[in-house]
Structure 1
Amino acid sequence: MTLLEVKDLAVEFSTAEGTVRAVRGVDFTVEAGRTLGIVGESGSGKSVTSLAVMGLHRGAEVTGSVRFDGTELIGAPEETVRALRGRRMAMVFQDALTSLHPYFTIGDQIAEAYQAHFGGKRRTAWARAVEVLGDVGIPEPARRAGEYPHQFSGGMRQRAMIALALSCEPDLIIADEPTTALDVTVQAQVLELLMKLQQDRGLGIIMITHDLGVIARVADEVLVMYGGSAAEQAPAETLFTAPRHPYTRGLLDSLPRLDAADGDALVSIPGSPPSLLDPPAGCPFHPRCAVYRAASEEGRRACTEQRPPLRLVAEHHRTACLLDSPSEGRGFQKEATA
């Protein structure tokens, strides 16, 4: 069952320096019981996309379509979005310490969210808070519910954030960098927890991260973003075994390898991500792209004049590259087909 369908999503912010085109024409779907991984460098538009889905942008122009279980959220009354947000779709924010209120106990914050959607007595909401804290593996949940965020370790705070998201039994969870700043052992525990909850409850999950190791572990489908738009989209196994976009290949090549020879330097993608205030013409990745530099004059001209569409190159596999080929990536496609 399709929980979420996003089509041609665009998000723009007006600033004193000009318009920031943070997201441009992004499409994806999320199925119940499956995980979509969204990956890319900082500034690629991952978090902006998730906040747009949740209806949490203020002062931004959001266009396109976001349909949750058949309900269109773009342009919908605030009451409609608020009724779904937290209840049927929830978010685990990137930094648990700053996302949780320092003046209220963990239990108070979970109970407040529960009462906002279900009403009822405070005693019932508190019991629900204790229950979900136990569900996510926090020891002595009845006691820990009365403690404040600063009294929790980083891993426990992240579990508390997941408990808050789960308190109203949502169908969709958006996890924005849920393992950032956690040590490797705690990262593994958090990921195992999310996968177990998905298996037990049939949750749809959007996992947003820059860590390809996390994506390889949990994702069924992967959306690679660069410069505010989609660079590649494919099943996880396909993306890791047969990447087509030069940016995706660059990300994979930059991963440390156990079979690397002693003394081998890590590979990096040269340059920096583009400014979304003044992005380059044509393909946003071409200033950093080795395939572009090795292409013919005709190919390089196309890269600087055309913004490549996300086109189908294999079954369930789309890429936004005009110089795409499965091996060297240097064949020039004169006509990009949708």
Structure 2
Amino acid sequence: MTDTQPLLSVRDLTVTFPTKRGPVRAVDSLAFEVRPGRTLGIVGESGSGKSVTSLAVMGLHSGAEVGGSIVFDGQELVGLGERALNRLRGRRMAMIFQDPLSSLHPYYTVGEQIAEHHRVHFGSGRAVARRRAVDALAEVGIPEPERRAGEYPHQFSGGMRQRVMIAMALACEPDLLIADEPTTALDVTVQAQILELIARLQEERGLAVIMITHDLGVVARVAHEVLVMYGGRAAEQAAVDDLFARPSHPYTRGLLDSLPRLDDSDDEPLRAIPGSPPSLLTPSPGCAFAARCAVAAAGSDEERARCETERPPLDGPAGHPVACHFPAYEGIAS
């Protein structure tokens, strides 16, 4: 595989959960690609389907119906058996989960947990795996790795636990790293350190990275391409510079408008997108964002009816498709 070919190719991905009140389609007809050495940022509000998408790629959904195609390095993952998935997970695909404290076992030292990960995938002896665990902790900048490998998760700060999670994810030198909100609940200094660490390791190893976040500042800093999700669907896709320069979907513009600005006065309230995310139990037949959209609200009766009843396709200029009947509306400040 060359660097110009996608390592991961997702096409028409759907994830549906059965519930007592009916099926919930948490991801609907999603498509994207990730190439070696590149970072795809997936952004959106809570409930937009970001984490569900990442878990589907890893094959970690139990009880959900996953449809479409997920091709990793030429191998179709949808419908692949659990044993074959286990050989890929952790070895060629790894994931950093949102909450490191709940993801690490409290009864085992961090060194034991990383070493076990290495033994499972490489069949290495205990001494070799222990050495690899210490080396992995050193690679992610944990001081005195030999000593700290013998400590338990509760003895680490939040930032250090996140580094342990990164060390565990990278111990087997995977090709794809999925980072699900890796800087949530960390202060800005530690957040910057974690992002710099991931970027350095990506450059050294040619990692393909999926960065899942609601923080557009993180996306602007680390991503090469951006996928904006809303209501389980793709709203907009573009290169990061293009997206920030020409946000074309009203939802993307709303996310950018909600960021604090340096030229705002001290008593200026933060701008928010009105309304609430849509219910996935009763999805709209039209645009999922129509009920909250300033463009639809300002349009004619015919235009509002179109937004509410006709689902917009993900379409537009090459490299910057938008799922909107009226993209690049100039009435909303960017």
Q: Who is 2:321 aligned against? A: 318
1:177-207 alpha-carbon deviations (Å, 9 max, x no partner): 0000000000000000000001111100000
1:146-179 alpha-carbon deviations (Å, 9 max, x no partner): 1111110000000000000000000110000000
Q: Who is 2:94 aligned against? A: 90
Of 52-61 and 13-22, more deviation after overlay is shown by 13-22
Q: CA deviation at 1:120?
A: 1.9
- TM-score, length of structure 1 as denominator length: 0.95
- TM-score, length of structure 2 as denominator length: 0.96
Q: Does 1:102 align with 2:109?
A: no
Q: Who is 2:244 aligned against? A: 240
CA distance in 1 between partners of 2:233 and 2:262 (Å): 32
Q: Who is 2:190 aligned against? A: 186
Runs of 4+ in 1 over 3 A off after TM superposition: none
Which residue among 144, 147, 150 is the counterpart of 2:151? Answer: 147
Which residue among 22, 26, 36 is the counterpart of 2:26? Answer: 22
CA distance in 2 between partners of 1:263 and 1:147 (Å): 46
Q: CA deviation at 1:261?
A: 3.0
Q: Does 1:7 align with 2:11?
A: yes
Q: Who is 2:80 aligned against? A: 76
Q: Who is 1:163 aligned against? A: 167
1:265-287 alpha-carbon deviations (Å, 9 max, x no partner): 21110011111122233111001
Q: Secondary structure at the match of 1:138?
A: coil
Aligned residues: 328
Which residue among 30, 33, 39 is the counterpart of 1:35? Answer: 39
Q: Who is 2:255 aligned against? A: 251
CA distance in 1 between partners of 2:106 and 2:250 (Å): 44
Name the amino acid aligned to 1:319: V
Q: CA deviation at 1:226?
A: 0.3
Q: Does 1:120 align with 2:130?
A: no
Structural mapping, 1:209-220, within 5 Å:
209-220=213-224
Name the amino acid aligned to 2:44: G
Q: CA deviation at 1:65?
A: 0.3
Q: Does 1:264 align with 2:281?
A: no
Which residue among 274, 287, 293 is the counterpart of 1:289? Answer: 293
Question: RMSD over aligned Cα, in angstroms?
Answer: 1.0
CA distance in 2 between partners of 1:189 and 1:263 (Å): 31
Q: Secondary structure at the match of 1:18?
A: coil
2:45 touches 2:214 (CA, 8 Å); kept in 1?
A: yes
Structural mapping, 1:289-308, within 5 Å:
289-308=293-312
Of 22-31 and 316-325, more deviation after overlay is shown by 316-325
CA distance in 1 between partners of 2:261 and 2:242 (Å): 19
Q: CA deviation at 1:262?
A: 3.9
Q: CA deviation at 1:81?
A: 1.2
Q: Who is 1:335 aligned against? A: none
CA distance in 1 between partners of 2:21 and 2:81 (Å): 31
Q: Secondary structure at the match of 1:22?
A: strand
Q: Secondary structure at the match of 1:112?
A: helix
Q: CA deviation at 1:326?
A: 5.3
CA distance in 1 between partners of 2:320 and 2:182 (Å): 27
1:246 touches 1:291 (CA, 8 Å); kept in 2?
A: yes
Q: CA deviation at 1:17?
A: 1.3
Residue ranges of structure 2 left out of the alignment (5+ in a row): none
CA distance in 1 between partners of 2:183 and 2:192 (Å): 9
1:298-323 alpha-carbon deviations (Å, 9 max, x no partner): 211111111111112x2310100012
2:278 touches 2:288 (CA, 8 Å); kept in 1?
A: yes
CA distance in 2 between partners of 1:197 and 1:291 (Å): 42
Of 203-212 and 271-280, more deviation after overlay is shown by 271-280
Q: Who is 1:138 aligned against? A: 142
Q: Secondary structure at the match of 1:230?
A: strand
